[in-house]
Amino acid sequence: MATTPSGTTSRGRPAGSDRHSAHRVVDRERLESVLALLDRVRYPVDLSVTHRGDALAVAVFPAHLERAGSYQSRIWRVPLDGGAPEQLTTGPRTDALPAWSPIDDRLAFAAERPIVGRMSPFLLEPGGEPRQIGDVDGSVQALAWSPDGTSVFALAVDEGGFGAATDGAIRLRWSDAPDPAVFRPDTGWRRLLRIDVETGKTEEVSPDGVSVWEFDLVDASKAVALVSEDPSESGWYRARLALLDLERRTFRDLWIPDRQVQGPALDPTGRRVAVLEGWSSDRGLVAGDVRMIELESGEAQPFDSELSDLSSIGWLDPERLWFAGWEGFGSRFGVVGAAGKVEWASTDDAIVGPNSFHARVAPIPSGGFVAIRESLRDPPEVMRRDDGTDATWTPLTSFNDGVRADLRWYPEVRELEWHGAGGLPIRGLLMLPDGDPPFRTVVMIHGGPTWAWKHGFDPGYSLPLAAAGFAVFLPNYRGSTGRGQAFTRLNVGDPAGDEFEDILLGVEHCVSLGVTMPDAVGVTGGSYGGYLTGWAVCTTDRFAAGVMVSGIVDHLSTHLTCNHAFSEFIFEGDHRDPEKLGLFMERSPITHVANAKTPTLILHGSEDQCTPLGQAEELYQALVVNGTPTELVVYPREGHGFREREHAADAQRRTVGWFERHLEGRG
C-alpha cells in the first residue's frame, strides 16, 4: 500500500489549503486547432531495406480510422540517396508489413483485401499490379522471404484470436458474428505457413499444438521461434524459444526464460540465436536484456554487457549485432559484439522506432542505419544515419512537413526529478501552457506499467490538455522502462504501492515548484494508468477530478475475463493462491470505493479484451451508489484505446470539459 505523503491529510487533501478560484478559461480555439493538427499526422512503420541497399519500403498510416472503417495505409518506396518517395499501393483498405525479396525487386506485403478485417499476403513485382498469393485462412501478422526468394513465410492468426493490448486488444473477426457464440480455450492459433510465390501453393509448416508468436528463418526448412501451447494472449507471457523443423512439423525447446521474450534473431552462421528477455506487461512492450543461445545444444552463451532495456536486435555479421532500446526519456542504439562488448552506442532525446512501444533501427548493407524518428515538436519521419556515436540524422521523407509548418504553438516541456517512496529518485516530464503559474494541473499516468513517457511529438498524448490551458505532469514511476531491469521490476508484487507514492510525491514536488495549484489537480491515465487513476479516486481525495480510461478496478474479475496473464506476473501469482487472492482484493480500487467522492469520468471501448468493459461498469455503478458525480462513456467498436477519428476527438473534448468543470479550487 502507498503511505500518505508528508503534508497531506489522511485522505490526501493538501493540509491548510487556501480557498481560491483556479478558474481560467479553456482555450477551445487552440484545443480544436491541436486536435485537427494531430489528426493530420501520418505515421510511417514497418521498414524494409532492399537487398542492394538503395531504397526502403515503408507502410504509412493515418492517425485515425473513419467510422467503422479500416486504416487507409499505403506502402511507399523511399530512395536512400535522397530522391523523392513513390507511393506503391493504393488500398482500398490497410496495406502493411512490406518485405523486399532477398534477391530482386519483388515486394511482399499484407493487405486487408479481399476480405474486410483479414490481412492477406500480396506480391508486387516491378512494373506490375499487386496480386494476392497463397491461400491463407487466417490474418497475416508477419512476413519473411526464404533465402533463395522462392517462398514467402506468413505468420497468421486464426479467426477468433486477439490483437495485443498495443494493437487494440480486439477479438479478430472477418465472418458474420457466430450465433450462438461458443468459446473454447483452443482457438485463435498463430500458425506459420509457407507460400510458393510462383504457384501459390500454401502449406502449414509449424507444429500442431503450439502457437508461434515470432520467428526467424534458419533456412527454408528450419526456424527459431517463440512458441506456447496456449494460443490465447495469456500464452505469450509464457512463450519459450524453440527450434522448428518445418518439413517434419516438429519442434525442440531451446530455452525456457524466466520472463517475457521478444525478437529472436539468428546469426548468419546458423550457430546461435540472440533474443531479448525482460519483464513486460504487454506483448510488444518487451524492453530487456540480450540472451545468446547456442542452437545445437540450447546452452546459454556469455553476453556480458551494460546494455539493458533493448526492444530490438539483429545481426550485422557473425560477430556483431545492432541494437535499439530505451534510455531515460529517449532512445539508445548502436553496435555490440557477440560477447557483449559495445563497439559504439549513441543516445537520442527522441523516439527512434515506429512508436513509443518499440525502439528499432534497420541497417543498410553499405553501412549506417535507417529509422523512424520523432521528437518534441517534430512528428515522425524516416531518417538515415551513419555509423558512430556522433553521427547525425538526415530526413528521407517529408510526410509531415505540412503538420510541422502549421505548428503555431507548442508547450514548454521540462524534465523533473524528485524523491519518490523511500527516497528513490524518480523522473518525469512537465508540460506547461501559456500564462503565469500556478496552473490547474492534470497528472497523466502511463500504462503498461513496463512503458514510459518519452520525448515524442505528443508526449503522453497530452498536447490537447496543454493547449486547453492545463499543465500536464507525466511521471515515470518505478516500474517504467529506460532505467534498467532492476528499476523496471521494482513494482512487481506491489501494484499501487510505492509506485503510487512516487506519483503523489511528484505532485507535491510540482506544487513546491510553484507550478501547480495544490487544490486544482486532476488525474487521468489509460490501461494500467487507468488502474492507478481508479486507485487514486477510490483511496484518496488528493485529486479534484479523475478521468479513467480503459482501466482496471477489480483485479480478480479482470483476471478471469480478460485475454491475458498480466495479473499473474504483476502479483507474482494468481487467484488460486489464497495469499495472492487477498492481495488481488486489497489492491483493487473497487474494494475501497465506498468512500470515493472524487468526480470521475470513465471512458471505455466496448470491444476491449485487455481491460473488459465490465471494469468501467463496476466503478460507474459503485460511484452512482455513492452519489459521486460520474459519467460512463462507452465507444462502440473500440478496443484498448480509441482509433476512430470522432471517438478520439470526443474523448479528448470530454476529458478537457471534465477537468474544466471540476478543477475549480477547493477549500
Q: For 344-392, how does the pLDDT look when each residue is reduced to its tens digit (9 = 90+)? A: 999 999 999 999 999 999 999 999 999 999 999 999 999 999 999 999 9
Longest dimension (CA), the chain: 78
Q: Is the pLDDT of residue 11 over 90?
A: no
127 burial type by CB count under 10 A (0-12 exposed, 13-18 middle, 19+ buried): exposed
Mean pLDDT for all residues in the chain: 94
Cis before residue 147, ω within 30 degrees of 0? no
pLDDT digits (tens, 9 = 90+) for 598-652: 999 999 999 999 999 999 999 999 999 999 999 999 999 999 999 999 999 999 9
Q: Is the pLDDT of residue 3 over 70?
A: no
Half-sphere exposure of 432 (CA within 13 A, CB side): 16
Mean pLDDT of 6-18: 36
CA distance 165 to 155: 19
CA distance 420 to 416: 12
Query: Is this prediction's pTM over 0.85?
Result: yes
CA distance 551 to 600: 12
Half-sphere exposure of 403 (CA within 13 A, CB side): 24
pLDDT digits (tens, 9 = 90+) for 96-142: 999 999 999 999 999 999 999 999 999 999 999 999 999 999 999 99
Mean pLDDT of 550-575: 93
Going by pLDDT thresholds of 50, 70 and 90, the confidence category of residue 561 is very high
Going by pLDDT thresholds of 50, 70 and 90, the confidence category of residue 665 is low
In the chain, % of residues over pLDDT 90? 92
pLDDT digits (tens, 9 = 90+) for 186-214: 899 999 999 999 999 999 999 999 999 99
Mean pLDDT of 417-423: 98
Looking at the DSSP bridge assignments, the partners of residue 587 are none
pLDDT digits (tens, 9 = 90+) for 128-178: 999 999 999 999 999 999 999 999 999 999 999 999 989 999 999 999 988
Cα dist from 581 to 555, 565, 613, whole Å: 9, 15, 22
Going by pLDDT thresholds of 50, 70 and 90, the confidence category of residue 664 is confident
Helices (H), 347-457: 401-405
CA distance 167 to 638: 11
Mean pLDDT of 435-459: 97
pLDDT, residue 25, reads 81
pLDDT digits (tens, 9 = 90+) for 524-540: 999 999 999 999 999 99
pLDDT, residue 23, reads 53
Ranges 158-172, 242-256, 470-484: which has the least confidence:
158-172
- Backbone dihedral angles phi then psi of residue 540, each to the nearest 5 degrees: -140, 165
